């Protein structure tokens, strides 16, 4: 009896300690890239004590599994399954390069996790080139228990950068809105933030009225969004993620909507309806003042900033159908006149500008379907990236590699992501209810 209860107790302890972070969103890779780089991520050696699994102890997070899943999700890499691994090296000195080459693996990732006396962990990893038999990257990262998932994403970022020449966007956040029914069949709207892989979801607002258009502050500490209220309509709020405190912005009489945080963090572009129709304003967050940018009897809305804060790209139906226009925020007169950007089709709206300013993602109507398209600003070339019916709310990853957007799948609202070249695709689905209005954060400040 005694032995049994002890086993029972230790089992409970294991469950409590190694309970993995919950993924609220599950991600399916719907299309990988042909010729994705074959890599192997060997489970990291663990040199600590702790909960047991079989005969040996296990690390608090499976770093290698998180890294492999990050790399696979990008569409650029094809990590081979663990069952195919030839050996379990944890350091370059233990690697048989010939054997891995024979397996068709271009790059190998090996590493170790070591618990330190102060309760932190030291995570060491090496990225190895199997053909040159040399190290491409190697780092030691000190991490706290609660940050080990983040450490794994940082390792993925470093690997991505070493192999792709571009910084990875794994160690970033996404924000989105979920809609579920309560017992009385009323809609419950939640504004959530999560890691870029859907883990560590945190609800920052819950209401019975709709929430749309979340926009991250560049420092990742605040989110602006639109909240509807009964008999009042749309209002814009800025909420602190740390404290949960929300403040109404530009509280004029009438609808306020479509907030867009400027890349320098100082201003919020938004749409105010107080002048009789939708006009774009810039609201200075420290001064609390609002400055009008558009003057037109048509609807002007959905402002998006260029990365250098100099201009806005917005939706306007001044030419009858909604199209994208660009307007300088500092020039007046003829120079300050909006310039039309889109000419293909009769519906181009809701711009998201790539972090390098070269591309503009938008919702583009084609044959009655609303799809995500990308405009190359230098050439004016428009490319349609998606193939479904009701795609909306595109948002660029901070490294410009992917665009996350909302769509429907089997009659439910889901998120999807597509690479800018249209070759890699994934779907992010909530366990129940609808998920919509994605917004990708900026890079985190180290």
Site for other proteins in 345-364 (CB under 8 A): 347, 349-350, 363
Closer residue to other proteins (CB): 83 or 231 = 231
Find out whether 50 and 121 touch, Cβ atoms under 8 Å: no
Q: Which of 172, 140, 129 is nearest to 153 (CA)?
A: 172
**Separation of first and last alpha carbons in the chain:** 52
Closer residue to other proteins (CB): 14 or 137 = 137
- Does 289 bind other proteins (CB under 8 A)? Our answer is no
CA atoms within 13 A on the CB side of 118: 6
- Does 246 bind other proteins (CB under 8 A)? Our answer is yes
**Please, is 92 exposed, middle or buried when counting C-beta atoms within 10 Å of its C-beta (0-12, 13-18, 19+)?**
middle
- Does 144 bind other proteins (CB under 8 A)? Our answer is yes
- Does 93 bind other proteins (CB under 8 A)? Our answer is no
**Runs of H (alpha helix) within 19-124:** 63-73, 97-102
Q: Which of 97, 139, 409, 443 binds other proteins (CB under 8 A)?
A: 139
In the complex, what is the shortest distance from the CB of residue 376 to other proteins, in angstroms, rounded to a whole number? Answer: 21
- Does 213 bind other proteins (CB under 8 A)? Our answer is yes
**Who's near 99: CB < 8 A, 6+ residues apart?**
86, 87
Give me 220's structure tokens: 């990742």
In the complex, what is the shortest distance from the CB of residue 10 to other proteins, in angstroms, rounded to a whole number? Answer: 27
SS (H, E, C) 305-369: ECCCCCEEEEEECCCCCCEEEEEECCCCHHHHCCEECCCCCCCEEEEEECCCCCEEEEEEEECCE
- Does 365 bind other proteins (CB under 8 A)? Our answer is yes
Closer residue to other proteins (CB): 72 or 350 = 350
Q: Which of 18, 137, 164, 366 binds other proteins (CB under 8 A)?
A: 137
Closer residue to other proteins (CB): 99 or 232 = 232
DSSP tag of 93: G
Q: Which of 208, 246, 212, 247 is nearest to 227 (CA)?
A: 212
Q: Which of 1, 117, 242, 334 binds other proteins (CB under 8 A)?
A: 242
Per CB under 8 A, contacts with other proteins among 68-87 are: none
Q: Which of 146, 181, 264, 292 binds other proteins (CB under 8 A)?
A: 146
- Does 379 bind other proteins (CB under 8 A)? Our answer is no
Instruction: Return the range that interacts with other proteins (CB under 8 A); candidates 24-32, 57-65, 141-149, 261-269.
Output: 141-149
Find out whether 60 and 18 touch, Cβ atoms under 8 Å: yes
**Who's near 98: CB < 8 A, 6+ residues apart?**
none
In the complex, what is the shortest distance from the CB of residue 394 to other proteins, in angstroms, rounded to a whole number? Answer: 10
Instruction: Return the range that interacts with other proteins (CB under 8 A); candidates 54-62, 231-239, 374-382, 418-426.
Output: 231-239
Q: How many residues sit in the footprint of other proteins (CB under 8 A)?
A: 74
Q: Which of 53, 181, 229, 287 binds other proteins (CB under 8 A)?
A: 229
Instruction: Return the range that interacts with other proteins (CB under 8 A); candidates 54-62, 96-104, 252-260, 305-313.
Output: 252-260
Find out whether 194 and 201 touch, Cβ atoms under 8 Å: yes
In the complex, what is the shortest distance from the CB of residue 287 to other proteins, in angstroms, rounded to a whole number? Answer: 25
> Which residues partner with 52 through β-bridges?
57
Find out whether 259 and 213 touch, Cβ atoms under 8 Å: yes
Q: Which of 241, 377, 388, 422 binds other proteins (CB under 8 A)?
A: 241
The beta strand positions in 32-104, using DSSP E, are 37-41, 45-46, 52-53, 56-57, 77-79
Closer residue to other proteins (CB): 95 or 424 = 95
Instruction: Return the range that interacts with other proteins (CB under 8 A); candidates 3-11, 72-80, 343-351, 371-379.
Output: 343-351
Closer residue to other proteins (CB): 6 or 208 = 208
Q: Which of 39, 58, 63, 299 binds other proteins (CB under 8 A)?
A: 299
Displacement of CA 445 from its chain's centroid (Å)? 15
- Does 273 bind other proteins (CB under 8 A)? Our answer is yes
Q: Which of 31, 57, 82, 207 binds other proteins (CB under 8 A)?
A: 207
Per CB under 8 A, contacts with other proteins among 409-438 are: 411, 437
Q: Angle formed by the axes of helices 148-164 and 63-73, to 10°?
A: 50
Backbone angles phi, psi at 98, to 5 degrees: -60, -45
In the complex, what is the shortest distance from the CB of residue 344 to other proteins, in angstroms, rounded to a whole number? Answer: 16
In the complex, what is the shortest distance from the CB of residue 188 to other proteins, in angstroms, rounded to a whole number? Answer: 9
- Does 153 bind other proteins (CB under 8 A)? Our answer is no
Closer residue to other proteins (CB): 97 or 139 = 139
């Amino acid at each position: 009896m005694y032995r049994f209860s002890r086993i029972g107790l230790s089992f409970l302890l294991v469950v409590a300690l190694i309970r993995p972070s919950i993924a609220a969103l599950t991600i399916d890779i719907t299309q990988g890239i042909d010729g994705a780089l074959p890599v192997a991520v060997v489970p990291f050696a663990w040199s600590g004590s702790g909960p047991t699994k079989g005969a040996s102890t296990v690390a608090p997070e499976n770093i290698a599994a998180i890294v492999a899943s990050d790399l696979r999700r990008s569409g650029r890499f094809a990590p081979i399954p663990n069952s195919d691994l030839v050996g379990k090296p944890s350091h370059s000195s233990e690697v048989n390069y010939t054997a891995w080459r024979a397996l068709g693996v271009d790059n190998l990732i090996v590493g170790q996790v070591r618990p330190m006396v102060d309760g932190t962990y030291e995570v060491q990893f090496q990225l190895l080139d199997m053909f040159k038999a040399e190290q491409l990257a190697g780092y030691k990262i000190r991490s706290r228990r609660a940050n080990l998932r983040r450490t794994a994403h940082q390792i993925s970022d470093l690997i991505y950068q070493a192999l792709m020449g571009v910084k990875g966007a794994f160690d970033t956040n996404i924000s989105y809105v979920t809609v579920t029914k309560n017992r009385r069949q009323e809609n419950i709207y939640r504004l959530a933030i999560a890691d870029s892989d859907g883990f560590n979801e945190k609800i920052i607002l819950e209401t019975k009225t709709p929430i749309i258009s979340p926009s991250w502050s560049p420092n990742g500490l605040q989110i602006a969004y639109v909240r509807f209220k009964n008999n009042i309509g749309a209002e814009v709020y800025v909420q602190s993620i740390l404290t949960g405190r929300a403040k109404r912005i530009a509280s004029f009489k009438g609808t306020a909507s479509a907030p867009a945080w400027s890349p320098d963090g100082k201003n919020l572009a938004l749409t105010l309806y107080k002048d009789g129709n939708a006009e774009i304003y810039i609201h200075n967050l420290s001064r609390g003042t609002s400055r009008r940018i558009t003057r037109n009897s048509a609807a002007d809305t959905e402002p998006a900033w260029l990365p250098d804060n100099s201009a806005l790209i917005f939706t306007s139906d001044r030419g009858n159908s909604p199209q994208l226009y660009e307007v300088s925020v500092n020039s007046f007169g003829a120079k300050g006149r909006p310039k039309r950007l889109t000419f293909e089709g009769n519906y181009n709206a809701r711009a998201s500008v790539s972090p390098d300013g070269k591309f503009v993602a938008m919702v583009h109507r084609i044959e009655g379907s609303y799809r995500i398209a990308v405009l190359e600003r230098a050439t004016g070339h428009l490319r349609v990236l998606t193939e479904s019916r009701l795609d909306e709310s595109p948002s660029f990853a901070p490294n410009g590699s992917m665009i996350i957007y909302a769509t429907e799948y089997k009659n439910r609202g889901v998120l999807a992501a597509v690479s800018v070249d249209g070759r890699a695709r994934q779907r992010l689905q909530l366990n129940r209810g609808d998920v919509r209005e994605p917004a990708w954060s900026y890079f985190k400040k180290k």
